[in-house]
Amino acid sequence: MIYEEAEARIHALTRFGSQKGLERMGRLMALLGNPQEQLPFVHVAGTNGKGTTSRLIASVLERAGFRTGLFISPFVVEFRERYQINGSMIPKEDFAALMEELLPRLRQLSEAGDEVTEFEAVTALGFLWFARQKCDIVVLEVGLGGRFDATNIIPPPLCGVIASISMDHTAILGDTLEQIAFEKAGIIKQDMDVVTYPFQAPEVLGVFYERCARTGSRLIQPSPGALEILEETAFGSEFVYGGERCRLPFPGRHQIGNALDAIEALQVLRRKGFAISREQLREGLETARLPARFEVLSRSPLVILDGAHNLQAAQGLADTLALVKERPRIAVMGMMRDKDCRSVLEIIGGQCDQLIAVPVLGMPRALPPEEFAALAAPCFSHTEAWTEHLPALRRAAELAGPSGAVVLCGSFYLASQLRPLVPRMCARRG
């Protein structure tokens, strides 16, 4: 089996299962020898910021010399980005070989009436690869929620992290912050250390404290009082936390909060025997890279890519755009119909002048460009709808002109589709 066939086979699996729980995932892992039980984990959940937090933790661990696995969701550049060891994606031949090994188990369960979902298979393959590669530690990002997420099949991790909680996936996780927090708190198992976001809502913290009390776990919240912000620009920040001076390549106050989560999680690992020097901590934070989180793809013209797709993420993007001097700002956007599109558009419209609506290819849930442009019209001075990505990007560059900026946002799916086209957009402009 070649890689392309293996990826197609995993995408052909059903997206959502008929049963809610971890029983099917448990049966699959048992057939594979339970490789997840051979690995130590940092388990990272949350609505916004879990990808950044995971990358920061992994970057520091890599700097400290540990063979570090990283499992992320969603991917931006390509599918193999989901699985990394020390910054390198899973080789195509490894993925194909593991998929060949996985398929008979999937068929076995299917014949017994258990249809394994795509994400369950994606997660199981990751556990196999990380165990075979003998990782010292794996930073494991939750896919959706926490309590019934396939990643939650792991034994108690060395540390749990719950990033910022906000309203998203309400049809699945609940329509209040408390309900969503309850699902995220499902990663908290018996007698473990859990780090949570420094600026979490009080009602969210209440849910976490209750869960920790019932499981005998310890909740650690970074202290904003120990934070001194030295510099904030559109291209990064510098701060002192607990006497440690750090530079962060990701802009925005929300990213500083994610960095504090990472620092506290790394302190937990230090107490559990992971030797991490102060220099390795600083270097790991400063050199971390993350696609589609206020990622600057070009300086001339200024092109910014961000996966912001819900209210909290959009507000973080808008706050950071306020630090950008370039005008006019042209948003190129597409969103899923089940998001709070109007509210996100109002927030982005506060920082961008015009909008070009584009399709999110291959996603039936996405709003068509014409419909999205009509919804956006009250929030922008001018809106247009385009059906093809590259002409839309070139139009955005034309509207922005030499002194403006192009902001690509609204969906991580869209980010992965637009990112490869930016060099061609800039070449045409040059």
Q: What is the tens place of the pLDDT at every residue in 229-239?
A: 999 998 899 99
- Dump pLDDT digits (tens) for 86-128: 999 999 999 999 999 999 999 999 999 999 999 999 999 999 9
Average pLDDT taken over every residue of the chain: 94
Beta-bridged to residue 382, according to DSSP, are: 354
Q: How far from chain centre, in Å, is Cα 339?
A: 17
Q: What is the pLDDT of residue 149?
A: 95
Q: What share of the chain is helix, strand, coil (3-state, %, to 5)?
A: 45, 20, 35
Task: Render pLDDT for 160-175 as a digit per residue (tens, 0 to 9).
Answer: 999 999 876 566 677 7
Is the whole-model pTM more than 0.85? yes
Classified as helix, coil or strand, 118 is: helix
The stretches of 225-338 forming alpha helices (DSSP H) are: 253-271, 278-287, 311-321
Amino acid 426: pLDDT? 79
What is the per-residue pLDDT for 169? 59
Q: Tens of pLDDT along 304-327?
A: 999 988 888 899 999 999 999 999
Residue 76 binned pLDDT confidence (cut-offs 50, 70, 90): confident
Query: Which neighbouring-strand residues pair with 45?
Result: 162
CB 313 within 8 A of CB 168: no
pLDDT bucket at 18, cuts 50 / 70 / 90: low
Residue 168's pLDDT is 66
Please choose, from the candidates 401, 417, 235, the residue with its C-alpha nearest in 3D space to the C-alpha of residue 330: 401
Q: In DSSP terms, which residues pair with 76 in a beta bridge?
A: none
Residue 191 neighbours by CB distance under 10 Å? 9
Q: How much is the pLDDT for 428?
A: 57
Beta strand 295-299 pairing with 302-305: antiparallel
Residue 277, SS3 per DSSP: coil
pLDDT band at 278 (very low <50, low <70, confident <90, very high): very high
Question: 119: closest CA among 164, 150, 147?
Answer: 150
Residue 17 confidence (pLDDT) above 70: no
Residue 167 pLDDT? 74
Residue 429: per-residue pLDDT: 52
Q: Give the three-class secondary structure for 105.
A: helix
Contact 151, 71 (CB under 8 A): yes
